[in-house]
Every structure is written in C-alpha cells, then in structure tokens.
Structure 1
Amino acid sequence: MASKNKTVETSVQVADFLHSFVEKEQKKQDSFRLIELMKNWSGFEPKMWGPSIIGFGTYHYKYASGHEGDAPILGFSPRKAAFSLYVIAQGNDNQAFLDQLGKYKMGKACIYFNKLEDLHLETLEKLCKSTIEYLKKAEGKMGC
C-alpha cells in the first residue's frame, strides 16, 4: 500500500502561520519579503503546505517506484535555525546560479540560508524562474 504524502496543501493562512511561528522580527520581515518576491516571480499566491512550508503553484510528480503526489513549484520555510528554500537546484544546469547565489548551504532537498540579505536576489530570481521552466517541461515525466 502506498504511503500518504505528509506535505499537502492546507487551509492555514500564510500570515497567521508567520505571526504565530516566526519569533525573530528580522526573519518575519525576510519571510514577507520572500513571499512578495516569489509571488511576483511565479504568478502564484502563497499557500501553506504541511505545517511549515510556504509554497507557490503546484506540480504533479511520479517516481519510478510508483509513488506520486503534488508539491509546490517554489517554496520556503522559515525554520528556527535557518530558512529552507525549495527550488530545483540540481539536475537542470543551475550550478552557475548556485555559484552566484551568495551565502548558503546545500541540503539534500533544499538550500539553507540565514537571512535574505545573504542571497543575491537577482540570482535567486533566475533560479526560481529556471525551476518554473524546468517543471513546466518535466511535468508528467518526473522520475527519481
């Protein structure tokens, strides 16, 4: 039996989440700024995914194992230690963008950064738009 996805779109209001979850004022300001930027770059309204991911748009994926589901095209989470940024950074020639992105750490499935000023925003925009284009082309053909 296939397992159910834990990270699904919820009805929680993004602003309510930020005001209740994010303690540091700078992180809260960075979160609202990142929402503004990602909304502008993607054309999608922010939605909560799971308990702590703010996502923009949606795409359907299906792995070779047969597991499939929906996920946000772009997203981030203002976690306690650092922001987690969810974009497609590997596998679609984005290394040049990553080289110019600024101060971050690469995780297995996301990019970690401490504050928005650590990132080069023009490069972040290019990375986000590249992710959108990649997923438009790959939707229905996703496989890992």
Structure 2
Amino acid sequence: MAKAEPKTQRTKASVTAFIAAVEDDTRRKDAKAVDKLFRELTGEKPAMWGPSIVGYGEYTTPSGPWPRIGFSPRKANLVLYIMDGYDGEPLMKKLGKHKTGRSCLYINKLADVDQGVLREIVAKGWKSMAKKYPE
C-alpha cells in the first residue's frame, strides 16, 4: 500500500503576497513583524506550506517534510509553530498573554507579549530543532 502524501506541503506561492492579503490590519502588521523576526533568527527565506503556513527551514518527519518553524496569521489569532514544544519552558511565564498547544503558540496580537522573550523562545526553538534534525 502506497504511503499517503502529507496534506500540507511546500508550495511556490508568494509569502509576500500571502501576508499582504491578510485582511485585518493588526494581524497583517504582526505577520510582517514575525516574518522579519524569523528571517533574522533563522537566516532562511520563508516558503508557503499549504495555503496558510509560512515556514522557515525544513526537516523530515515520518510523514514527510515539514518546516522547522513557521507561523500562520489566522483570523482568531497569530499561530507560531515552534516544533520543539513549550512544556516546562520557564520563559513562557514571562511571555505575556498567550495559549499553547502541542507545538503551537497562540497569540492574539504581538502587543500582548514581551518581544524580547518571544525572540528568545523562537531562537531557542530554532536551535533545538537544528540540533535534533541536522541537515
């Protein structure tokens, strides 16, 4: 039996056009700021993964390739995908208003969180993923 292709795959869609098309002004500005932060911390050019995830870098999972970190400016909140997770992370207590999922960090708007702490969390997650999944 053939292995099913993952639903979310890297595409050739424009990240710039995707971010520019975000309807809510605050969410669009936040998406631009997160893109700038991720580019700076990773040294990677972003790529679209599926129709709504902006991803940086890549690693291979049992089900196929996936971005090392990424984000999506959803209507309800800004979602940051930092695959290494957040369990027991002391920085999370200093971050500000947020929610977490398995490997998702949900932020209503960037103004709700400490930018320096967010930067540390993203940098730590990126480094951890690079160590776990070297190229």
Using structure 1 for the length normalisation, give the TM-score: 0.84
Partner of 2:78: 83
Q: Is the 8 A contact 1:47 1:56 kept in 2?
A: yes
Segments of 5+ residues of structure 1 without an aligned counterpart are 63-67
Where in structure 2 are the equivalents of 1:45-64 lying within 5 Å? 45-62=45-62
Shift of 1:122: 1.3
Shift of 1:90: 3.2
Partner of 2:131: 137
Shift of 1:127: 1.2
SS of the equivalent of 2:72 reads strand
Where in structure 2 are the equivalents of 1:46-125 lying within 5 Å? 46-62=46-62, 68-87=63-82, 88-90=84-86, 95-125=89-119
After superposition, the C-alpha distances for 1:82-127 in whole angstroms (9 at most, x for unaligned) are 1111002236x5x112111111011233111111111211111111
SS of the equivalent of 1:55 reads strand
CA–CA distance in structure 1, aligned partners of residues 48 and 121 of structure 2: 21
Partner of 1:12: 13
Q: Is the 8 A contact 2:86 2:103 kept in 1?
A: no
SS of the equivalent of 1:112 reads strand
CA–CA distance in structure 2, aligned partners of residues 8 and 97 of structure 1: 31
CA–CA distance in structure 1, aligned partners of residues 118 and 110 of structure 2: 10
Using structure 2 for the length normalisation, give the TM-score: 0.89
- 1:84 partner letter: V
Q: Is the 8 A contact 2:77 2:107 kept in 1?
A: yes
CA–CA distance in structure 1, aligned partners of residues 5 and 60 of structure 2: 14
- 2:5 partner letter: K
CA–CA distance in structure 2, aligned partners of residues 138 and 108 of structure 1: 17
- The size of the alignment, in residue pairs, is 132
Superposed CA RMSD = 1.6
Partner of 1:65: none
CA–CA distance in structure 1, aligned partners of residues 86 and 64 of structure 2: 20
Which structure would you say has the larger RCO, counting Cα contacts within 8 Å and 6 or more residues apart?
1
State the percentage of identical aligned residues.
33
After superposition, the C-alpha distances for 1:34-69 in whole angstroms (9 at most, x for unaligned) are 11111001111111111100111111223xxxxx31
